[in-house]
Structure 1
Amino acid sequence: MYNKTYDTDKRKLLSGLSHGSIFFSLLGISVGIPIAILLVSDDPVVKDNAKEALNFHLNVWLYGIIFGILTWVLIGFLLLGILQIVNLVMPVIAILHCLSNTEQPYRYPFIFRLL
């Protein structure tokens, strides 16, 4: 699919950084990291990983709002707990995929892809 040769170490670093940016979400700069990588990089795999990371950010925020509203109904606490686990586990899986398979972007399961 991607014929041009790119630096695999740079690809691993930028793809991993895109997916790992979710861990900086409390700082408010987490979404800026994949946006910057998307704008700066010319590697199609890195761009696809940055788009997927942005989609994951948007989904986490959307589900956080929905589950936060549901907290008023008392079921939201369980859903917020599950969301936090997903928020920690899925980026780790994505980073490991980016480090082991540099030729294919990672796709998060069960998310809406807006980008």
Structure 2
Amino acid sequence: MYDTDKRKILSALCHGSIFFSLAFVSVGIPIAVLFVSDDPVVKDNAKEALNFHFNVWIYGIIFGILTIVLIGFLLLGILQIVNFVLPILAILQCLSNPEQPYRYPFIFRFL
């Protein structure tokens, strides 16, 4: 018979290690429990926790790449809209008030 309290603690520790996933060391907790424990339930929980870690990392990489690509397209789209709208506003401002120069908003002025 295996100790149920020890089983609960070690299994919870394996699955709870994902909350420390920002530190790459978190995967070491289920690995250590896998090698130290001889309880088959704890070993299965450690294996499952490791699988979950690997899945989270893979999905994180995939979603990170998609975010970069999609945000890149979004930012390029916004840039095209700004590149189209602001000159039209500048032209209209210059035609309606030729005495005052138009200043584009949200730009850095080096000169």
What TM-score results when the alignment is normalised by the length of structure 1? 0.59
Query: 1:72–1:27: structure 2 CA closer, same or farther, 3 Å change rule?
Result: closer
> 2:24: which partner in 1?
28
Which residue of 11, 36, 40 corresponds with 1:15?
Answer: 11
Asked if 1:69 corresponds to 2:56, the answer is no
Deviation digits for residues 5-63 of structure 1 (CA, Å, limit 9, x no counterpart): 10000000000000000011112211000000000000000000000000000000000
CA distance in 1, matches of 2:19, 2:54: 14
1:39 counterpart = 2:65: no
Aligned to 1:53: 49
Gaps of 5+ in 2: 72-111
The structure with the largest helix share of the pair is 2
TM-score (norm 2): 0.61
Identity %: 83
How many residue pairs match? The answer is: 71
Give the corresponding residue for 2:94.
none
The Cα RMSD (Å) is: 1.1
Could you list the structure 1 runs, at least 4 aligned residues long, displaced by more than 2 angstroms after superposition: 72-75
Q: Which has the larger radius of gyration?
A: 2
Q: More relative contact order in 1 or in 2 (CA 8 Å, sep 6+)?
A: 1
